[in-house]
Structure 1
Amino acid sequence: MLARRSWSRVTDDAPTTAELEELVAAAGRVADHSSLRPWRLIELRGDDRVRLGRAINKALGDKGTSSKPLRAPLLIAVVATYRDKGDKVPRWEQEAVASGVAHALSLLLDEAGWGVIWRTGHYTRSKPVAKLHGLGKNEELLGWLYVGGKPQGSRGGHRKPIDARRHLSPLPADRATAKARKKAAKATATRAL
């Protein structure tokens, strides 16, 4: 995971559907409250990407075809499929599961040697794009994984190392504990004088 990078440029090679199915089976093992599996994935290859380009331009109010979907030979649409479970499994939690599957799949694809980048855009929630993907009323498109071969001699996008200390902290103390810590620090400071 520390070596994972986003690949904005990839070759025309792509995993087969059979190879992809094996990775999807593994990615689908993410934590999933009540085992709802509130997600699905859609493969876009060949002319499907051209059709998506037309839908994107229609969503943007432009004519013609956007070339964005042609940046990779395989696009995997990530769809959140919401199940009505009341307060037991709220909508946000189901979207988190779908996002988790997409992220796990991107890691698995990278580990298998494929270049991957997760692309989104405001048009992911547009009617023309939703219609193209055959989304139901209980579904939302979260974006696409663009997948292709890693170019020879290229390195993916540069990412700075993560300083975990900036993102990990203990639970804040309650008032009584905070007051006791403050008193102890003051006493230590007084003794040091």
Structure 2
Amino acid sequence: MSALEAVRSRQSWSKVTPDAPSREELLPLIAAAGRVADHSALQPWRLIELRGDDRVRLGEAISVVRGDPDPSAKPLRASLLIAVVASYRSSDKVPRWEQEAVAAGVAHMLSLLLDEAGWGVIWRTGDYTRSPEVADLHGLGPDEALLGWLYVGGKPSRSPGSRRTVDPEPLLTALPR
């Protein structure tokens, strides 16, 4: 499959089966995703693997942020969650926004690679991604920010539905004169 075909066929899978790739299966995909454009090769990102009870602990932290008495069941929607962290580096040339773009690029590239490998993936975010409680749970440092989680699992037999193709004409413009 070409890169164009992989991108054209990518879909978000909001529901996945309990199957999930092993750590050993993830490592080569992460190595490939790390080849995303990265000004000054700062590698301003890291990923955190959440499985089993880690997902329960995340649900508890989300509930604290939301003021809910019961743990959130959202993290239990997939057997594997991969937290995407922007890990900012000191640089005179590369601003924080560009470093965050690199981390987001790694997440998107990884989601494409997981999809191509046969896994269902959806990138989930929420207002609680930047909360102190959730940051503490993930062990984030003062120069880090959580960008969300890739929820990863097996693709169910039923498709997630069709995705509308973007009309590129109005999105590609010339420089104003």
TM-score w.r.t. the length of structure 1 is 0.87
Q: Which residue number in structure 1 is paired with residue 14 of structure 2?
A: 8
Percent identical residues: 70
Aligned partner of residue 42 in structure 1, secondary structure: strand
Q: C-alpha separation between the residues in 2 aligned to 1:42 and 1:130?
A: 12
Q: Which residue number in structure 2 is paired with residue 133 of structure 1?
A: 138
Q: CA deviation at 1:81?
A: 0.3
Q: CA deviation at 1:62?
A: 1.7
Give 1:167's aligned amino acid. L
Q: Looking at CA atoms only, which structure, 1 or 2, has the larger radius of gyration?
A: 1
Counterparts of residues 1-193 of structure 1 (less than 5 Å):
1-86=7-92, 88-152=93-157, 154-173=158-177
Give 1:99's aligned amino acid. A
Q: CA deviation at 1:157?
A: 4.1
Deviations 1:100-131 (A, max 9, x none): 00000000000000000000000000111000
Q: Tell me whether 160-169 or 65-74 shows the greater mean CA deviation.
A: 160-169
Q: C-alpha separation between the residues in 1 aligned to 2:90 and 2:70?
A: 38
Is 1:8–1:157's contact at 8 Å kept on the other side of the alignment?
A: no
Deviations 1:115-165 (A, max 9, x none): 00000000000111000000000000000000000011x112432111111
Number of aligned residues? 171
Give 1:168's aligned amino acid. L
Aligned partner of residue 76 in structure 1, secondary structure: strand
Moved >6 Å (runs of 4+):
none
TM-score w.r.t. the length of structure 2 is 0.94
Gaps spanning 5+ residues in structure 1: where? 174-193
The CA RMSD over aligned residues, in Å, is: 0.8
Give 1:75's aligned amino acid. L
Is 1:6–1:157's contact at 8 Å kept on the other side of the alignment?
A: no
Q: Which residue number in structure 2 is paired with residue 185 of structure 1?
A: none
Q: C-alpha separation between the residues in 1 aligned to 2:162 and 2:70?
A: 33
Deviations 1:67-88 (A, max 9, x none): 00000010000000001213x1
Q: CA deviation at 1:2?
A: 0.5
Gaps spanning 5+ residues in structure 2: where? 1-6
Q: CA deviation at 1:52?
A: 0.3
Q: CA deviation at 1:59?
A: 1.0
